[in-house]
Structure 1
Amino acid sequence: MIALTQPNLPAFTQLSLLGGHVRIDFCDIVFIEGQGNYTKFHTREGQRILTSKSLSFYRETLPAEFLRVHKSYFVNSLFIKALDKEVVLLTNEVSIPVSRRRRREIKLQTSLQKI
């Protein structure tokens, strides 16, 4: 079973944007997408927040619920609906690619069966 919390980590993150900062709760983030030197946060409300930091910048600050499913994606395991051979299907019906090397680990961590 996945540990849903990690001690000493806050329940939110502060994202730096061009116009200032925005606070976002980790429980509201569905998935995080790396786009080169930028990172896009996708929320449960459908909001997309683009930051000028790379995905690796955020890697160490994410709670255990966030699984790296691909070199360009972290997904919040609380929003995973199903796991297929090549994709993770999220509760908002978005499909995220899964690398072959990470598929077994994700399946074990989420106890999901194939679609």
Structure 2
Amino acid sequence: MKILIIEDEARIAKRIERMTRDFFDKEVQILLCDSVENGLSVIQTNSIDLLLLDLNLNGEDGFYILQCVVAKSFQTIIISAYTDKAITAFHYGVLDFVPKPFDENRLSQAFTRFTSPEKQTSGDVQFLAVKKAKTIKLITIKEIKFIKGAGIYTELHLADGRVELHDKSLESLEKLLPSSFQRIHKSYILCWHEADKLIVEAGGRYNMLLKNGELLPVGRSKYKEIRHRTI
């Protein structure tokens, strides 16, 4: 696992690094940066799994980094005293916002959200970001009907029929999305508002009929949970 810490105060950066190594395996690879420019350079040249980001970097706005990399496949945890920016950060789909000053327990809670397969979302995310050429395009959550796994990417299927490719995996998105979204199959996450009815077919096959007439497969392991929700 490769973790990038972007923090301009050396003492705090080392403290975060120590706490990170205490929580994860001692062999985890940790990269340290102290500026917006250096941070973006490392992100462009390394495949990281988790970003720990401060929002005040020697007077520079760390939020610029978040805006630039929000569409990438890794998760982001903000560690900052600028709590007034927490809501905006969650809207961009960060995994957690750890306010300064912080202790090891609070940082461990954030790391647990990262490692846990279960959804632990605050429900604040309002849009997902996708890369279009050299720009970032924001897709509002309300536009998404369902999300389909597509190899190392995911497909965002939108209400107007468009399909946008996203870098984050289904597992990563499942942690971020509000409770109105549910995993119905190993390859599908559905916006529950789009569901019409659950269909049981011969041979123990299950499908979800959407309000627009589309059919999505329902996994056998998900059937009881989904049936309970539709009752």
Provide the TM-score with structure 2 as the length reference.
Answer: 0.43
Match of 1:55 in 2: 170
| CA deviation string 1:40-70 (max 9, x = no partner) | 0001110100123322221211110111000
Cα pair 2:148 2:187 within 8 Å, conserved = yes
Match of 2:17 in 1: none
Cα pair 1:17 1:51 within 8 Å, conserved = no
Which one of 99, 103, 115 corresponds to residue 223 of structure 2?
103
Give the C-alpha shift of residue 14 in structure 1.
1.9
Which one of 207, 210, 220 corresponds to residue 87 of structure 1?
207
Match of 1:3 in 2: none
- SS of alignment partner, residue 60 of structure 1: helix
| CA deviation string 1:50-108 (max 9, x = no partner) | 12332222121111011100001000000001101210011121111001111110121
Change over 3 Å in CA distance of 1:23–1:48 after alignment to 2: same
Give the C-alpha shift of residue 12 in structure 1.
1.7
Q: Indicate the percent of aligned positions where both proteins have the same amino acid.
A: 31
| CA deviation string 1:10-45 (max 9, x = no partner) | 222222344421111111100000011010000111
Match of 2:40 in 1: none
Provide the TM-score with structure 1 as the length reference.
Answer: 0.82
Unaligned runs of 5+ in 1: 1-5
Aligned length: 106
Cα pair 2:125 2:177 within 8 Å, conserved = no
Give the C-alpha shift of residue 8 in structure 1.
5.2
Which one of 186, 191, 211 corresponds to residue 71 of structure 1?
186
Letter of the aligned partner of 2:167 in structure 1?
S
Larger CA deviation: 8-17 vs 34-43? 8-17
CA distance in 1 between counterparts of 2:184 and 2:174 reads: 13
Would you tell me which structure has more strand in proportion to its own residues?
1
- SS of alignment partner, residue 103 of structure 1: helix
Match of 2:136 in 1: 21
- SS of alignment partner, residue 176 of structure 2: coil
CA distance in 2 between counterparts of 1:80 and 1:97 reads: 12
Larger CA deviation: 97-106 vs 19-28? 19-28
Larger CA deviation: 13-22 vs 61-70? 13-22
| Pairwise CA RMSD | 1.7
Letter of the aligned partner of 1:103 in structure 2?
Y
Larger CA deviation: 55-64 vs 80-89? 55-64
Letter of the aligned partner of 1:81 in structure 2?
D
Would you tell me which structure has more helix in proportion to its own residues?
2
Cα pair 1:17 1:50 within 8 Å, conserved = no
